[in-house]
């Protein structure tokens, strides 16, 4: 990866520095977006109009200016990362401030910029053909409440790196923090002589404004990130779309795994931001022979194990009466809140609630988005892989395996036909956090784009000169 994208150790160093500077909860959240936020419009039409003007300005600027704008957005966002995290938790009621700081820093430093748009050249007896990536123009983007600022920064950096501007219809429950980061990005652009309105958004987003935006005349690319309904809406709009949809990422642990490392990695991953990240671990299949030992290590790593009537109480709390859906009130809450509510004693601030259930249990089958992790006992690794693939429901999102058996790892890597497969690490390693490669918060499995970058948000153009300009 070339300049602009930090290494994992750099990201971790930055995270440590920021966490050292800010004692979580100390810095007061700003009450909402500034009085006159840049890029925030009443109507979809006004937001698109402003983004159109900004796009024609952006493409007329030198590429070096584009690089400066992207660097300035990274810098301004990093400087304000605590506010972004605190505002998101306060407004949405989801996740943990300290984890949102990490998520934002990951996006700020490891979302690729313009450097990923390398041109290609073909030369030969017939001359020269040049292939470059060109902007779509104004892009429409729909963003989730689970990673509000992360998705806006990640989409926005990639989109403007490709010469586009973007209109966001953000999640209604995250509209203030979303407007705040839209304003921040525009101010960062103007601070280095770039245009205003590179990012725009609708002040009061609704499902109606989302659908108006998805169908807005002249917009050629829709990018959506969310659950099944918004993915369906994007396909229904009848335009080219890039869609990041839901997941239900399984984990398989076999008898050859380093159980202590597996337990630590699973607890860290599944509890990250209270499990609201789409790729976080959602259910675990463990070979019977090592099940009890793994569970003991999972508890040592910061989980509270619940059993029997405690599980029944949790079911009543977080599932609807028909057991087919989750009670969304509990999405993204701290583990301690669940434990208090179901009357289970605990100490400190546990990261995760864990329990053993059968394969067909709703805790396995549903995407809970809560720090509640289900464990299923399996007779061998083959049963584990088969059930894991089944539990993923064909979303093709994320899965992982803890094993030292290369045949088993190989089998699961092929059997799970998804965007991210992680071996012997937390799922967030697949997002470039403690793993190699760039990050993205729009993992576009339904449309086959995988972890989106500026490349995803651009179109290919070719220029051919026959007979000349080959230099050897
Ligand atoms: P959500 O689906 O409720 O909302 C996402 C966005 O879509 C919001 O802006 C919402 O207003 C909009 N929306 C919802 N229904 C719509 C409709 N019918 N028409 C138009 N717009 C609509 O999701 P959420 O609760 O914000 O986020 C959690 C979900 O998103 C989970 O399912 C998670 O797996 C998924 N997700 C996926 C990715 C990915 O990269 N694949 C990333 C983040 C979240």
* Distant-in-sequence, close-in-space partners of 460: CB < 8 Å, separation ≥ 6: 131, 132, 133, 134
Give the Cα-Cα-Cα angle 381, 384, 390 (nearest 5 degrees): 145
Residue 140 in contact with ligand 1 by CB distance below 6 A = no
Burial of 187 (0-12, 13-18, 19+ CB in 10 A): middle
- The pLDDT value recorded for residue 280 is 98
Joined together, the tokens standing for residue 253 give 């642990």
For the four alpha carbons of 361, 366, 367 and 372, in that order, the dihedral sign comes to negative
Residue 161 in contact with ligand 1 by CB distance below 6 A = no
Q: Which atom of ligand 1 is nearest to the CA of 441?
A: 40
Residue to mutate, 230, 239, 274, 392, ligand 1, most ligand atoms under 8 Å from C-beta: 230
Q: Whose CA is nearest to atom 2 of ligand 1?
A: 227
- The pLDDT value recorded for residue 109 is 98
Going along 220-296, which residue ranges are E strands? 221-225, 240-244, 250-253, 283-287
- Rounded to the nearest 5°, which phi and psi values hold at 335? -55, -40
Residue 142 in contact with ligand 1 by CB distance below 6 A = yes
- The pLDDT value recorded for residue 34 is 58
Going from the Cα of 401 to the center of ligand 1, the distance in angstroms, rounded, reads 27
Q: Whose CA is nearest to atom 14 of ligand 1?
A: 230
- The pLDDT value recorded for residue 203 is 98
CA distance 11 to 153: 16
CA distance 130 to 243: 29
Residue 152 in contact with ligand 1 by CB distance below 6 A = no
Other Cβ atoms within 10 Å of 309 Cβ, number: 10
Q: Which of 37, 41, 236 has the alpha carbon at shortest distance from 138?
A: 41
Going from the Cα of 226 to the center of ligand 1, the distance in angstroms, rounded, reads 2
- Rounded to the nearest 5°, which phi and psi values hold at 141? -130, 135
The SS3 call for residue 396 is coil
**pLDDT in 10s for each residue of the chain, 472 residues:** 333 444 546 555 655 664 454 333 333 344 454 568 999 999 999 999 999 999 999 999 999 999 999 999 999 999 999 999 999 999 999 999 999 999 999 999 999 999 999 999 999 999 999 999 999 999 999 999 999 999 999 999 999 999 999 999 999 999 999 999 999 999 999 999 999 999 999 999 999 999 999 999 999 999 999 999 999 999 999 999 999 999 999 999 999 999 999 999 999 999 999 999 999 999 999 999 999 999 999 999 999 999 999 999 999 999 999 999 999 999 999 999 999 999 999 999 999 999 999 999 999 999 999 999 999 999 999 999 999 999 999 999 999 999 999 999 999 999 999 999 999 999 999 999 999 999 999 999 999 999 999 999 999 999 999 999 999 9
Are 48 and 185 within 8 A, CB to CB? no
- pTM (whole model) above 0.85: yes
- The pLDDT value recorded for residue 36 is 84
Going from the Cα of 227 to the center of ligand 1, the distance in angstroms, rounded, reads 4
| Residue in the structure block whose two tokens are 């398989």 | 252
Residue 250 in contact with ligand 1 by CB distance below 6 A = no
Residue 233 in contact with ligand 1 by CB distance below 6 A = yes
Residue 367 in contact with ligand 1 by CB distance below 6 A = yes
User: Which residues pair with residue 377 across a beta bridge?
Assistant: 286
The SS3 call for residue 141 is strand
CA atoms within 13 A on the CB side of 134: 10
Going from the Cα of 244 to the center of ligand 1, the distance in angstroms, rounded, reads 8
Residue 225 in contact with ligand 1 by CB distance below 6 A = yes
User: Which residues pair with residue 286 across a beta bridge?
Assistant: 253, 377
User: Which residues pair with residue 353 across a beta bridge?
Assistant: 304, 372
Are 129 and 416 within 8 A, CB to CB? no
Going from the Cα of 148 to the center of ligand 1, the distance in angstroms, rounded, reads 10
- The pLDDT value recorded for residue 26 is 37
């Amino acid at each position: 990866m070339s300049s602009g994208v930090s290494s994992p150790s750099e990201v971790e160093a930055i995270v440590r520095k920021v966490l050292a500077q800010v004692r979580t909860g100390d810095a007061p959240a700003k009450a909402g977006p500034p009085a006159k936020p840049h890029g925030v419009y009443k109507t979809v039409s006004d937001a698109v109009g402003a983004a159109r003007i900004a796009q024609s300005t952006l493409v007329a600027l030198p590429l070096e200016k584009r690089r400066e704008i992207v660097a300035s957005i990274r810098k301004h966002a990093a400087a304000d990362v605590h506010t972004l995290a605190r505002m998101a938790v306060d407004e949405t009621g989801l996740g943990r401030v300290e984890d949102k700081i990490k998520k934002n820093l990951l996006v700020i430093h490891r979302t690729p910029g313009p450097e990923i748009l390398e041109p290609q050249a073909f030369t030969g007896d017939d001359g020269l053909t040049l292939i470059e990536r060109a902007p779509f123009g104004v892009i429409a983007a729909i963003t989730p409440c689970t990673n509000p600022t992360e998705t806006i920064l990640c989409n926005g950096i990639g989109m403007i790196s490709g010469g586009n501007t973007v209109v966001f219809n953000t999640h209604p429950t995250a509209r203030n923090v979303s407007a705040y980061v839209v304003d921040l990005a525009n101010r960062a652009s103007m601070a280095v002589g770039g245009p205003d309105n590179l990012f725009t958004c609708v002040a009061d987003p609704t499902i109606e404004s989302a659908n108006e935006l998805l169908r807005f005349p002249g917009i050629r690319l829709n990018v959506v990130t969310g659950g099944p309904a918004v993915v369906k809406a994007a396909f229904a709009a009848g335009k080219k779309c890039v869609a990041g949809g839901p997941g239900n990422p399984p984990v398989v642990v076999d008898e050859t795994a380093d159980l202590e490392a597996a337990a630590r990695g699973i607890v860290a991953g599944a509890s990250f931001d209270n499990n609201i990240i789409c790729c976080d671990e959602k259910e675990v299949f463990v070979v019977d022979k090592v099940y009890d030992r793994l569970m003991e290590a999972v508890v040592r790593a910061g989980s509270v194990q619940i059993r029997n009537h405690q599980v029944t109480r949790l079911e009543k709390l977080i599932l609807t009466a028909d057991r087919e859906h989750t009670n969304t009130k509990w999405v993204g809450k701290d583990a301690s809140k669940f434990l208090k509510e179901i009357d289970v004693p605990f100490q400190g601030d546990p990261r995760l609630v864990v329990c053993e259930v059968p394969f067909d249990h709703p805790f396995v089958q549903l995407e809970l988005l809560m720090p509640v992790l289900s464990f299923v006992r399996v007779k061998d690794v083959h049963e584990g892989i088969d059930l894991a693939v089944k539990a993923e429901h064909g979303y093709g999102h994320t899965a992982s395996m803890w094993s030292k058996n290369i045949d088993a790892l190989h089998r699961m890597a092929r059997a799970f036909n998804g965007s991210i497969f992680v071996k012997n690490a937390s799922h967030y390693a697949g997002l470039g956090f403690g793993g190699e490669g760039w990050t993205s918060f729009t993992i576009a499995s339904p449309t086959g784009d995988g972890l989106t970058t500026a490349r995803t948000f651009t179109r290919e153009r070719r220029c051919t000169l026959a007979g000349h300009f080959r230099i050897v």
